[in-house]
């Protein structure tokens, strides 16, 4: 019998800071083990060797912001058995989705002297707006330990499991004093866990960089911010319109205060 072929992994980047795919290289203790278990077939940031698909598992970092990338993601999907979207950019459009709330041509003119050379789409959109995504791992950046567990799940042929509770639960598990009690506004009650409740642990309010949790009550939190903590409407807009600005729950909440 011929020896079993190692599963082929590919890593693709669209509009992003590169941080989520870098998380794989940041697995300093595990990288060589991962490289032993899979064939890293396409990962431009790490290797000159670029092997054509099909790929067994594809990790996608970044959002779709150009016509070129909108075409490319179709190719990536066709070449991939499983496709996992990494981070806020790939799952909701990222911080660059702030353009979705403005006129993009004004943005181009603000940065580039000759806007005619810049080709970009009106909106920054998540991967799932273009192709089927088998699993979305959220975070800005993603948690590298969650990344390893998701990769491992696909290699084992089982569904990935990522806890979907709010940051508040992690905060309680860490024994933190609630920062809201100390007078600091915190998005923890409506934000998906995964970071380990970092911000409250460092005495600051969560700023929502893992995106909305399932069924978040953003309106109740906004009311608390404004009535009990005196937060202004523009600051409510800024709180929800940041790293997950384009995620529906946060988008609706920011729009409710942007009049």
Partner 1 sequence: MTGKVINVKYLARVEGEGGLNIQIKDDAVTGVQLKIFEPPRFFEAFLRGRNFTEAPDITSRICGICPVAYQMSAVHAMEAALGVTVVGPIRALRRLLYCGEWIESHGLHVFMLHAPDFLGYQDAIQMAQDHPDLVKMGLKLKKVGNDIVSTLGGREIHPINVRVGGFYKAPSKRDLAPLAESLKWAREAAIKAVRWVGGFTFPEFERDYEFVALRHGQEYPFNEGRLVSNKGLDIDVRDYEQHFVEEQVPYSHALHSTLKARGSYFTGPLARYNLNFDLLTPLAREMAREAGLGPVCRNPFQSIIVRAVEMLYAVEEALAIIAAYEKPEMPAAPVSPRAVVGYAATEAPRGLLYHRYRLDENGVILEAKIVPPTSQNQGTIEADLHQFVAARLALPEDQLTWQCEQMVRNYDPCISCATHFLKVTLERR
Binding site for partner 1 (CB under 8 A): 13-23, 25-26, 28-29, 31-32, 35, 40, 44-50, 65-66, 68-69, 94-96, 98-99, 102, 104, 106-108, 110-114, 117-118, 120, 140-141, 195, 198-199, 201-204, 207, 209, 235, 238, 242-243
Minimum distance, C-beta of residue 203 to partner 1, in the bound complex (Å): 5
Residue 67: burial class (beta carbons within 10 Å; 0-12, 13-18, 19+)? exposed
Give the residue with the Cβ less far from partner 1, 114 or 158. Answer: 114
Closer by beta carbon to partner 1, 49 or else 223: 49
Q: How far is the CB of 78 from partner 1 (least distance, A)?
A: 19
| The CA-based dihedral angle spanning residues 243, 247, 253, 258, taken in that order and rounded to the nearest 10 degrees | 70
Name which of 155 and 215 has its Cβ closer to partner 1: 155
User: Residue written as tokens 């075409």?
Assistant: 71
What DSSP designation does 86 have? E
Nearer to partner 1, 105 or 217 (CB): 105
> What minimum distance in Å lies between the beta carbon of 47 and partner 1?
3
How many CA atoms are closer than 13 Å to the CA of 232, on its beta-carbon side? 3
Max CA pair span of the chain: 71
Q: Which residue has the tokens 């409510």?
A: 236
CB of 3 to partner 1, least distance (A): 18
Q: Which is nearer to partner 1, 83 or 237 (CB)?
A: 237
Measured distance CA(159)–CA(238) in Å, rounded: 35
Which of 154, 29, 19, 31 has its CA nearest to residue 81?
154
H/E stretch holding 153 reads helix 144-156
Tokens of 32: 């060589």
Decide whether 31 or 153 has the Cβ nearer to partner 1: 31
Report residue 8: phi and psi, to 5°.
Answer: -95, 125
Both tokens of 42, joined, read 């396409």
Closest contact distance (angstroms) between CB of 196 and partner 1 is 8
We find the least distance from the C-beta atom of residue 19 to partner 1, in angstroms, to be: 2
- Pair of tokens at residue 189: 């009650």
Give the chain's length: 259
Measured in degrees and rounded to the nearest 5, phi and psi for residue 118 equal: -100, 120
- Residue 98 C-beta: closest distance to partner 1, Å: 4
Name the residue nearer to partner 1 (CB basis): 128 or 196: 196
């Amino acid at each position: 019998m011929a020896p079993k072929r190692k599963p082929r992994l590919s890593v693709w980047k669209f509009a992003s800071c590169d941080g989520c795919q870098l998380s794989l290289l940041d697995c300093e203790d595990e990288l060589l083990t991962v490289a032993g278990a899979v064939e890293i077939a396409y990962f431009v940031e790490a290797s000159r060797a670029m092997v054509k698909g099909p790929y067994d598992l594809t990790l996608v970092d970044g959002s779709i912001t150009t016509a070129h990338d909108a075409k490319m993601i179709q190719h990536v999907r066709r070449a991939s058995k499983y496709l996992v979207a990494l981070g806020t950019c790939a799952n909701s459009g990222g911080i660059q989705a702030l353009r979705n709330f403005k006129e993009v041509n004004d943005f181009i003119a603000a940065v580039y002297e000759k806007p005619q050379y810049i080709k970009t789409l009106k909106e920054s959109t998540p991967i799932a707006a273009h192709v089927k995504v088998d699993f979305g791992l959220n975070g800005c950046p993603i948690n590298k330990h969650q990344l390893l567990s998701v990769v491992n799940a696909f290699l084992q042929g089982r569904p990935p499991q990522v806890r979907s509770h709010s940051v508040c639960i992690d905060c309680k598990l860490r024994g933190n004093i609630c920062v809201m009690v100390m007078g600091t506004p915190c998005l923890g009650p409506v934000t998906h866990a995964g970071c380990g409740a970092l911000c409250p642990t460092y005495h600051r309010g969560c700023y929502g960089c893992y995106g909305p949790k399932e069924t978040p009550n953003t309106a109740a939190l906004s009311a608390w911010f404004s009535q009990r903590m005196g937060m202004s409407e523009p600051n409510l807009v800024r709180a929800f319109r940041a790293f997950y600005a384009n995620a529906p729950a946060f988008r609706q909440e920011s729009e409710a205060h942007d009049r």
